[in-house]
Chain A
Amino acid sequence: MKIGLEIHVQLPTKSKLFCPCPTTDAPAPNTHVCPVCLGFPGARPMMNRKAIEYGILLAKMLGCTIRDTTWFARKIYFYPDNAKNFQITQYDRPLGEKGMYYLNGKKPIRITRIHIEEDPGKIKRVGDLSSLVDYNRSGVPLAEIVTEPDLSTPAEAREFLGQLIRDIRHTIDIPDDGERSIRCDCNISVGIERCEVKNVTGLKNVERALTYELVRQTKLLKAGGKVVRETRRFDEERGVTISVRKKEMEADYGYIDEPDLGIFNVKELTERLKIGESPQNMILRLSKEYGIDEKTAKQFVSTSVELAHLFEELAAATDTETARTWTSGAVSAGWKSFEARGGGDAAEVVSLIGKFKAGEITDTECNIRIRAFLTGTDVDEVRSGSADLDSIISEYLDVNPSVIEDYRKNERAANRVIGHVMKRTGGACSSAEIVDATKRLIEERL
């Protein structure tokens, strides 16, 4: 089975792609509109610099070749939400081409191209009588990323999308507004001919739509039938794909270059714009460079890239094993709270662990102080809470020594202790704290 995806991502500009209308949520339909995005005769597009910059960043992230000049084209199709009945997109010269992106750092997925285009408006259906169009979305910048059919299963496609979205968000700083903002056209073929399922929203639906197609096409072929090249849509409620039109009915888009925008020389911009390491690449690098397993690296990075950075600082100041233990333990336990309070400089943590390594403070004391620092709590308060917590755990372990034996075989044995302590403390301690303390005290007894 071969799967290729066309992924549409809204770029986080403040104004639209070709006009200064805001891209933020509008108070009512058709209130963030102007002559340009309504397609009024005589109005013409004006290019948003930021959209080009975001496009270049993504093209770089995908390892695309970015040529020195890029330009736009008109794609002509008639539809009520398409204000000019043509969409300004890219055709002959997309921003980036021939990229390569690695799924889990291993499987190469070829990127055909990435280009920038304008989003159409939104149609609200009212019965079958007429359509009601809201052009607030018309002209919002999109990046379209097209992959080669290098994905082999619906689950893999979902995994790929998840990783891609995480990397995109990190690269161009898109707020995590749920996966629904990602729209996807999915091309899938089991045999020779392929079908395209248009406009599927969200990771879960992509996997559902592809799985449905996989089953449908396989059955069809087994029964001696033939898959026809066609466009289908996904009915989210029923979980099925439905034929929209056959290949021969496809519109001839009749592309021409857009004369109103001119061309864009992006060589200098491309050289100037640097992308940070993508989360996926960071996971791979941490695991390789420090010899920690990928699971741990992923845990650090998905908690926060800053936490992963702190791990690297600690490793440099002490050693990898110390850094790994403390980062997984006390630091991870308090990190969410630290970031919730605004994050910032965590050099104190490095200094505390340094003191512990130098034998100036005990590990319990170090633990308490790290916790106090990250949660912004008074050290004495943490100490007494922690002492309470430690004594509750120790009491339980004294009464149930079998836990230690079980823990040797399977770390999940700790859950029994954790469950008990949670009940006893009744929410006074965070679960991260309890987990950390339990593991610490069990490991002391091993």
Chain B
Amino acid sequence: MIETSILSSLSKINEKYQMFRTITSDTEAGDAEFLFSAKDNLTSKDMETCSGSKILEGYRPPFDATSIARMRGAGGLLVGKTNMDEFGFGTFSTNSAFGVPRNPYDPERSCGGSSGGAACAAAVMDGHVAIGVSTGGSICCPASFCGVYGIVPTYGRVSRYGLLDYGNSLDKIGIISAKASDLGKYVNIMAGADPRDPTSCMQPDMGARRKLKSVAVPKDATEGVSEDVRMAFTDGLETLESLGVDVDTVEMPSLKYAIPAYYVIATSEASTNLARYCGMRYGHQKGDLSLKFDDYFTSFRSQYFGQEAKRRILLGTFTRMVGFRDRYYSKARMVRQSIIGEYRSVLRECDAVLTPTMPFVSPKFSDISKMTPLESYKADILTGPPNIAGMPHASVPCGYDRNGMPIGMQLVADQWDEGVLFSAAEEWEKTFESVRPEVSI
């Protein structure tokens, strides 16, 4: 049986960390075998679902996302919907319309994004399992900033039915937890073909768990990475070698195109997905009906979308416009194929590609506010490549900087080869001693 005391303290915890957008009113866990949370972009029948956006405020979906339904079916109790950047648009969870989650190691710093609330919940609450969603780094980034484990399965492994789309060819549902063994356990529960999401219907069975024997480190993996991160990563490599893992250096020249290609595909798709939010059917609908439809739609979208959502809509609308489509949208998709090809050839020779997860530790909110959009886009430099390629990847904690802020490293395996990541994370957990944040409420 599980501790029910956590249920009664949820709102207190949330007051301090703002990791939830919605909290369950249940105070008893009943027959539940585990407690879990879901990112606020997954539909849930019993809880509001807003994807961090004002435009969907008050929206109660009529159906459960497949991932949530499967977790419930396995005995899970959904305790809340976690805070996130609006529609997943961000690296620091500072773009939510509903408050900003605080880093459990330092409340002046970010939890990372866009699944910031999920990573925060996993770091703060004992035994908690958080469902996160990654489009370009939204699971590994916050997992590394919050010192927990995070996994993103292969694209198409977990059904996206009920996921409020950001980029349909990029979105992947995964798990964040303080416990490495949760990654395999809960991905297995959520995975499997679902006729409601055709892209989930091509998957082979989950591969067998397999010991990590060799990793490849791209030559410029630590280029532009902060000194603290570089040091922790080097320590991590040494530890791996001491565990008998072969470490090789490889050239992966196409990875440098991953970020622009990722942002082009992601925003092109996002700007079409967000077209439906227009003051009709769901979310805010009380508007001036005397306006002609174009103006009516425009008024809602201008009023309720946040700045980053507008920026990405503009970017994505531009990159698929006549005259620019070939240069941006079409080219970006070619680049994606080159990157997939490059990963494939490297992963024929070794089990995983290893890099730090983020180029720096979680920044202070005061520093984040000084960053330009492009600077924050570039923070995805290491998480972008596996995401655009649909490769399964995991972030594991590998050290702390002088202020005690956690640092993570990222393992990328070949498509459908999650098994090697599950066991690698579990093996790693046996050697690496995590420093849990102090939680007082």
Contacts and interface: CB of A to CB of B under 8 A. Distances in A.
B289 A47 contact: no
Nearest to B195: A46
Given A40-B61, A46-B196, A131-B293, A80 B272 contact: no
Contacts of A259: 167-169, 199, 269
Contacts of B112: none
Given A252-B322, A260-B197, A260-B199, A42 B163 contact: yes
A41 B43 contact: yes
A47 B195 CA distance: 10
A282 to B, nearest CB: 40
Contact of A43 (B51, B161, B202): B161
B195 A86 contact: no
A254 B294 contact: no
Given A256-B320, A259-B169, A44 B281 contact: no
Given A44-B160, A259-B199, A261-B198, A39 B290 contact: no
A129 B275 contact: no
B63 interface: yes
Nearest to A35: B63
Contacts of A78: 275, 278, 293-294, 297
B335 to A, nearest CB: 15
Contact of B276 (A47, A84, A130, A131): A84
B196 A74 contact: no
Interface in A13-63: 35, 38-47
B276 A83 contact: yes
Nearest to A258: B168
B324 to A, nearest CB: 10
Interface string A49-93: 000000000000000000000000010101110011110000000
B198 A40 contact: no
Interface residues of B, number: 46
A178 interface: no
A360 to B, nearest CB: 64
A59 B218 CA distance: 49
A80 B280 contact: yes
A252 B316 CA distance: 13
A79 B63 CA distance: 25
B282 A41 contact: yes
A396 interface: no
Nearest to B169: A259
Given A254-B320, A260-B197, A130 B272 contact: no
Contacts of A129: 289-290
B320 A85 contact: no
A74 B275 CA distance: 11
Contact of A46 (B49, B169, B198, B272): B198
Contacts, number: 102
Contacts of A130: 289
A40 B289 contact: no
B193 to A, nearest CB: 12
A254 B317 CA distance: 7
A255 B320 contact: yes
A44 B198 contact: yes
Contact residues on A (Cβ < 8 Å of other chain), bracket: 20 to 34
A262 interface: yes
A256 B272 contact: yes
A131 B289 CA distance: 9
B319 to A, nearest CB: 9
Given A252-B321, A262-B198, A42 B275 contact: no
A37 to B, nearest CB: 12
A262 B199 CA distance: 7
B65 A42 contact: yes
A166 B89 CA distance: 52
Contacts of B272: 74, 76, 86, 254, 256
Contacts of A86: 272, 275-276
Contacts of B197: 44, 260
Interface in A372-431: none
Nearest to A123: B293
A199 B179 CA distance: 60
Nearest to B333: A257
Nearest to A251: B294
A44 B289 contact: no
Interface in A218-269: 252, 254-256, 259-262
A35 B272 CA distance: 17
B115 interface: no
A32 to B, nearest CB: 16
Contacts of A260: 168, 197-199
Contacts of B63: 35, 40, 42-43
Contact of B161 (A44, A47, A84): A44
B164 interface: yes
A229 to B, nearest CB: 16
Contacts of B294: 78
B224 interface: no
A78 B313 CA distance: 14
B56 interface: yes
A8 to B, nearest CB: 22
Given A44-B196, A83-B276, A85-B276, 17 more contacts: A35-B63, A41-B43, A41-B49, A42-B65, A42-B164, A44-B168, A44-B197, A78-B294, A84-B276, A129-B289, A256-B329, A259-B168, A259-B169, A260-B168, A260-B197, A260-B198, A262-B202
14 contacts: A38-B281, A39-B276, A40-B61, A41-B165, A44-B161, A44-B198, A46-B195, A78-B278, A83-B281, A133-B280, A254-B325, A256-B269, A259-B168, A261-B198
Interface of A: 35, 38-47, 74, 76, 78-80, 83-86, 129-131, 133, 252, 254-256, 259-262
